[in-house]
Amino acid sequence: MTESDQQPWGRVDETGTVFVRTSDGEREVGQYPDATAEEALAYFERKYADLAGQVTLLEQRVKRGAPAADVAKALASLRESVANAHAVGDLESLARRLEALSGTTKELTEQQQAEAKAALAEAIAERTRIVEQAEALAAQDPAKTQWKQATAELDAVFASWQRHQQDGPRLPKNEANELWKRFRAARSTIETHRKAFFAELDASHRDVRTRKQALIERAEALAPRGADAVGDYRNLLDEWKQAGRAGKKLDDQLWARFKAAGDVLFNAKAEIDAQEDEAYRANLDEKLALLAEAEPLLTETEPKQARAGLNRIQRKWDEIGKVPRDQIRVVEDRLRKIETHVRSLEDEHWQREDPEKKARSEGMLGQLNEAIEKLESELAAAEASGDARAAASAREALEARRAWLKAVGG
């Protein structure tokens, strides 16, 4: 193999040794035996191309904002590789590019440190907000807390804590421990309150259950008395309503027993009522016939005649007796309508014949007539004397008195 100058950045001598040219002179980079000079240079040029590719890749990583620590580590490794490279090419150009990256890496480090600091501050603030949510739940009045909702909210807050812990930046140990202590204390307070609330609720439910079971036993003991015990059962029902709650599922079971005891009594009463209603069916026919006889009184205008007719109807009504329960309201309403009409006739008659009112009316009429006669004399005298002002005053007063007289029926 002979010495060659095939490439501006390197050469191969007659022994097959390959040199790279730099501003400081030539430097031996290796040998490629049993090959032509072109093949030897091409081999070490490929090594240079690999280095250049690594520098380009690092430049691209910096542009994409790769972690500064990773960039710095890669930069140090490449510097050493370029400085001692067994390659042929513009190694000084690669060194300059790496030097330029050094300044960029410093800026990137400062930028990322600032961003990391800001992200850490935001992470601490976010973790603190999560803690404050838990503390707000812990500060609620246990007696007024909706525990199903509060438990769901606490679970959601804890899930937020876990996501933030997994996905967010790692917090300094002191801050992380302090926030966890606060969060754990809030959860412990909530759990203590919840247990105390439900323990008290369970005790209350047990007390209500005991009272309601006693009411059930008293209600079931009424069964032998049948319909006669309905009033007593209603009294027990009032006590039941005041007893409180024993929990929905248990309350439903207790109520089913209590109601079943009442149904026995009400069914017995319903049978008796049905028998009585059947016995009263004939009375209904009689009262309907009596109403048909009485309703013409609705057109009567004389109070005495209307009262006499109504008294006769009422006597017969009482003599007939009871009607079926589902018809009581129907027939009673029709009779009430007739009674109301008769009372209104009597009220109107009394208003007309009230002695005191009549005396007041007659006294006022006399006074008005006297005033009118006096004003008529005064008007005539004023007109005769030509006193227009006195005549106008007398005329105005006279018209007013005549209007009053007409209003009171004079």
Q: What pLDDT is stored for residue 164 in this prediction? A: 84
Please tell me whether residues 22 and 89 are part of one structural domain: yes
Please tell me whether residues 70 and 130 are part of one structural domain: no
At residue 129, φ and ψ (nearest 5 deg) are: -65, -40
Q: What pLDDT is stored for residue 4 in this prediction? A: 45
Q: How many residues does the chain have?
A: 410
Amino acid at 302: E
Domain boundary among 353, 374, 397: 353
Residue 379 lies in a domain: yes
Residues of the chain where predicted confidence (pLDDT) is lower than 70: 1-6, 105-116, 353-366, 407-410
Please tell me whether residues 47 and 85 are part of one structural domain: yes
Q: Which domain holds residue 101?
A: 4-115
Plot region of 321 (φ>0 → left; ψ -120 to 50 → alpha; else → beta): left
What tens digit of pLDDT does each residue of 210-258 get?
888 898 889 888 888 888 888 998 998 898 888 888 777 888 888 998 8
Structurally, the chain folds into a number of domains equal to: 5
Residue 209 lies in a domain: no
Please tell me whether residues 295 and 397 are part of one structural domain: no
Cα gap 187→94, rounded to integer Å: 59
What tens digit of pLDDT does each residue of 290-327 get?
889 888 988 888 989 989 988 998 899 888 888 888 88
User: What is the value of pTM for the model shown?
Assistant: 0.39
Burial (CB count within 10 angstroms: exposed 0-12, middle 13-18, buried 19+), residue 42:
middle
Beta pairing partners, 19: 11, 28
Q: What pLDDT is stored for residue 6 in this prediction? A: 55
Please tell me whether residues 71 and 101 are part of one structural domain: yes
Domain boundary among 77, 97, 115: 115
The separation between the first and the last C-alpha atoms of the chain, rounded to the nearest angstrom, is 158
Cα gap 346→34, rounded to integer Å: 147
